[in-house]
Amino acid sequence: MTLTASQTQETTTREVITTSYILEDSQEPLPRPSPQLKKNIFDNFSLAGKVAVITGGSRGIGYAVAECYCQAGASVALIASNAERVEQSAKALRAEYGCKVESYTLDVAQPAKCDEAIAQIVQDFGTIDIFVGNAGIIWTDGGIISDAGLNNGIEKWRRIMEINLNANYYFARSVGQIFKEKKSGSFILTSSMSGSICNVPNYQTAYNASKAGLKHMAKSLAVEWASFNARVNSISPGYIDSGISDVLDPAILAKWNSLIPFGRQGLPQELVGAYLYLASDASTYTSGSDIVIDGGYCSV
């Protein structure tokens, strides 16, 4: 029997491209099957039946994301360091949306506590489908060799790296194992435009470095976890009126507004569409991406 040109090409393709060149430990035949998506796009954005964990979830961006996820039908676990505030936030979400929301209090800079929290959440909810690493603190001491920057600067640097960057590594170890077992999941990191640019007039090298690390952590984990179909992405907000910058000099905030093409800080609610997209089945082919939402700041 003589094969046609198309049949010969198909046979050759099957023989040569059988496993991934990227994932060396994977023997899964390629191509993989595509996901079975809903016909209606709004159904693909639904989080009904899914469980989301959000660190830094008691206020600001984290709370706005939690509210969005409740509206989309998810059950939500809020993690924060302030016990009273995080429980009040959980209570408010339960009252308004009738969804399951629980609060967990811990210092995310402690690896063992992160592991314990994830284990408790799995016990309380049954699984984890979505993880949002959003907890973060800022640097307010200017240049690293300024008087303020030199005063306990090493301890302050380490603390920012622990909260902003390392904590997400601690959580990734536990959450990644859950995603691997269920062969799915979405891991979302709140980076910042500061991971791509250098802010002025406020110098904040520690913060910038921590957020740049988060962005590349997301890209790296996206490759590591692709073998079990888990997605990892980051979101890079610009200046957002979330409360985290309230301690800064008003003159600095005014300067920010003059540097933003939109002329104002963003609202946390202006970010949540991206978090919903990345958490939902609307983004099943999105991994290793960084979504910048900054009012045009990085375009200047």
User: Among all residues, which ones are annotated catalytic?
Assistant: 192, 207, 211
**What b/e string do you get for 41-74 counting C-beta neighbours within 10 Å, with b at 16 or more?**
eeebbbbeebbbbbbbbbbbbbbbbbbbbbebeb
| CB 115, CB 170: distance < 8 Å | yes
Q: What is the DSSP secondary structure assignment for residue 266, as one 8-state letter?
A: B
How far is CA 281 from its chain centroid? 16
| CB 269, CB 261: distance < 8 Å | no
Return phi, psi of residue 194, to 5°.
-70, -10
Return phi, psi of residue 137, to 5°.
-130, 165
| CB 133, CB 190: distance < 8 Å | yes
**Residue type present at position 145:** I
Contacts 24+ apart (CB under 8 A), 27-36: 28/227, 35/281, 35/284
Q: Which helix (H) or strand (E) holds 220?
A: helix 205-224
Length of the chain in residues, anyone?
300
